[in-house]
Structure 1
């Protein structure tokens, strides 16, 4: 799995998603773009990919598309419309683009193709500063819960991702 932290300026979301799908098909990879405010860290997305693949292997996936299944796990939700809040939208986005395939070469080539899209403004460290308020609100992590544990916010988010498996 490769990640590209970046800034996107999306004029037409449907066209952008279609472009990502075409790049993914051309390179044999799965591509998903996230609004970085909803991503705790790299391990958050690694866990989502792992659990999505396990669900697909077991025939327990909700979505037909692997990229959407990864989004569902990353969001810790089974409802696609609620998980889409974690995706990018039209306008300016601080984003994280996830590319996952069988080979590093395919992932690298796909990322290079993503960088040629009109929507791609440039690389930017988007995960270095965490939007704690947004993460807590989106993943329903209360102040009381944070106060009752010494677990990091990232660990609590990954717990929500893992709980999706139990709640099915």
Structure 2
């Protein structure tokens, strides 16, 4: 798995999704773009990828597309429409693009060539804690009751999706 932290300016979401789909197909790589505000660090996406692959291997996946299954796990939700909130949208986005399998490096280089790509920038260094707590339904009292990091609590939500099936 490789990650590309960047800024994207997307005018046409359907065209962008088609473009990354074509890039992924060319390089044998699964690509998924996330709004960085909803990502609690690289370990969050690593765990989502691991659980999505396990679900697919067991034939328990909800989505037919591996990238969408990864999105479901990253969002900690089984409903695709609710998980899509975690994806990028039509506008300027602080994003992180996950690439897994095939020629990940070449796939991410091709992402950098898209018109929507604005610039590389670190987007996971300072997580948006308020957005993460709201999206993953982590109340202040839960955070106060543990010494676990917010990232660990988010990864717990991702893992709980497996249990709740």
Shorter-chain TM range is over 0.9
**Once the two structures are superposed, what CA deviation does each residue of 1:97-123 show, in whole Å capped at 9, x if it has no partner?**
000004xxx000000000000000010
Deviation at 1:50, TM superposition (A): 0.1
Aligned partners of 1:57 and 1:108: how far apart in 2?
25
Q: Normalised by the size of structure 1, how large is the TM-score?
A: 0.98
Deviation at 1:151, TM superposition (A): 0.3
The runs of 5 or more residues in structure 2 that have no matched partner are none
Aligned partners of 2:111 and 2:3: how far apart in 1?
11
Matched ranges for 1:24-63 at <5 A:
24-63=24-63
- 1:67 maps to 67
Give the aligned CA root-mean-square deviation in angstroms.
0.5
Deviation at 1:129, TM superposition (A): 1.1
Deviation at 1:163, TM superposition (A): 0.1
Aligned partners of 2:64 and 2:152: how far apart in 1?
28
Residue 122 of structure 2 aligns to a residue whose secondary structure is: coil
Runs of 4+ displaced beyond 2 Å = none
Residue 162 of structure 2 aligns to a residue whose secondary structure is: helix
Q: Normalised by the size of structure 2, how large is the TM-score?
A: 0.99
- 2:154 maps to 157
**Once the two structures are superposed, what CA deviation does each residue of 1:10-50 show, in whole Å capped at 9, x if it has no partner?**
00000000100000000001000000000000000000000
**Count of equivalent residues:** 165
Aligned partners of 2:44 and 2:144: how far apart in 1?
21
